[in-house]
Structure 1
């Protein structure tokens, strides 16, 4: 089993971000949406940097959690790019309306299952090893 302090986690984090962007970009219809989605990995990384600094936990040991969250979201939208494009088109045409008035978002149910599984697995790994 790979140690949580292994430098390979940086490579896994980069691959996770690539997979996240590859899964999310096909569902976006304009550059503004793509830029917004691109902020997700950056915000997540800033969150683990802040956690690392605040709790004096090595950043390298938190990378499995970062990978778990990013991959959980990415796998949560796999197979739903057409539905995402439909929703994002509606959202661009109706900027002031609440999301629940638009077309259904089937990927949310998939994210609701994949994200806790990946995050739970990552937290278990970080605490067990």
Structure 2
């Protein structure tokens, strides 16, 4: 089963996170699309998510997950020790999302921003939908 991650393609932290996931996803379970691209915008519309969303989005089995739910579900499919972070789902969502929102709100200031989305390396290009 393929899972799709929608991410902010102009955010340095988000692009680094995508590379992190790729390097720890031995089954190539995840596909990727930037929120700014055609596919990302179509998927946001399909799942009735506002285009201005300030979150990573994970789509699995026609269900969309955002914020800490998305991150922790992604972690559950990564190699050890990262998959064990999924146990944090036991914490109340408001606690998890508060930490997520703090990072999301400051990501450009802390990590920088690019003018355009990254161009994936040829060996992983097939996992990108745009």
Larger radius of gyration: 1
Q: Same fold (TM over 0.5)?
A: no
Higher strand fraction (1 or 2)? 2
TM-score under structure 1 normalisation?
0.34
Higher helix fraction (1 or 2)? 1
TM-score under structure 2 normalisation?
0.34
